[in-house]
Amino acid sequence: MRAHRHPAARVALGLLIPILLLALWQAQAEVGGARALAFVPLASIAAAFAELAASGQLLTDAVTTTSRALTGLVLGASAGVLLGIAMGLFRSVDRLIGPLYHAIRQVPLLGWLPLIGLWVGNGEAAKLLIVGLAAFYPTVLNTYEGIVHAERRNTDVGALFGFSRAQLLRHVLLPGALPLILTGLSQAIAFAWIATIGTELLLGAGAGLGATMSLAQAQQRMDVILVAIAITGLIGFTLNTLFARLRGHLLRWQPAIA
């Protein structure tokens, strides 16, 4: 068995480069002068972390941002799956909405910010709308592809056993599309997380990791920014890992790729 197959060895290997980067960081900080402003010493970052954690702000920010991301994700992804199914099942819906969807998809999300600000202001609704859209796009596309490219070999079997359209959808089309739907969802999670931080940065105000970053920038608190960045990365990584587990469970019927 090769060394990195061992779980502990694998974790150690994954931590190798981050630790090297941190060492490099600390070295830069100790050079002093202008460098020290950009490369805050690790000790200061740890102090800022302790300060934010003690005041409860860090927890509030993390919870606010995570629940905002998940709310947007659930709204956007469920709308996306439903539209993807409708477009995949009914050619009329595909013809009616498909071109519009593909055109709108080309506009970067942040491009909508001014318009959305005008329509719904820059409060919670605007943030959720952006996050929801970020989750919506990849879900529609992948669900649609999964339904449309259902294999004839499977639909024939459904026909033989006299499945109705609803039975075909439930027992053949949806399970067949599940791998692609889950691919869409994992993209949606990544995009929703990025969009959440982005809208918080741009629309500021209130709690949230992005809002804290934005405020810290105005106050020139580099240490606080770095704490917020680290927590953002950590939560994003956790969400991804959890979803990968769920995906593995839902697709346990697939032969192992290894």
- Of positions 7, 106, 162, 257, contacts another protein by CB under 8 A: 162
* CB-based burial label for 54 (10 Å; 0-12, 13-18, 19+): exposed
- Of positions 9, 46, 159, 230, contacts another protein by CB under 8 A: 159
In angstroms, what is the minimal distance from the CB of 246 to another protein?
Answer: 15
DSSP states along 163-186 = --HHHHIIIIIHHHHHHHHHHHHH
Q: Which is nearer to another protein, 201 or 250 (CB)?
A: 250
Closest CA to 128 of 56, 185, 183, 79: 79
Asked whether position 166 contacts another protein by CB under 8 A, the answer is no
How far is residue 246's CA from residue 69's CA, in Å, rounded to a whole number?
A: 18
The tokens of 189 are what? Answer: 């999670």
Cβ atoms within 10 A of the Cβ of 68, count?
Answer: 25
How far is residue 44's CA from residue 39's CA, in Å, rounded to a whole number?
A: 10
Closest CA to 251 of 165, 173, 183: 183
In angstroms, what is the minimal distance from the CB of 142 to another protein?
Answer: 17
Q: Give the distance from CA 194 to its chain's centroid.
A: 6
Applying CB under 8 A, the span of 20-28, 62-70, 123-131, 153-161 interacting with another protein comes to: 153-161
Residues 229-258 that bind another protein (CB under 8 A): 252-255
Q: Which is nearer to another protein, 88 or 132 (CB)?
A: 88
Per rule CB under 8 A, count of chain residues that contact another protein = 20
Are the beta carbons of 201 and 110 closer than 8 angstroms? no
In angstroms, what is the minimal distance from the CB of 108 to another protein?
Answer: 36
In angstroms, what is the minimal distance from the CB of 178 to another protein?
Answer: 7
Residues 172-211 that bind another protein (CB under 8 A): 172, 175-176, 178
- Of positions 60, 105, 124, 171, contacts another protein by CB under 8 A: 171
Residue ranges in contact with another protein by CB under 8 A: 153-154, 156-157, 159-164, 167, 171-172, 175-176, 178, 252-255
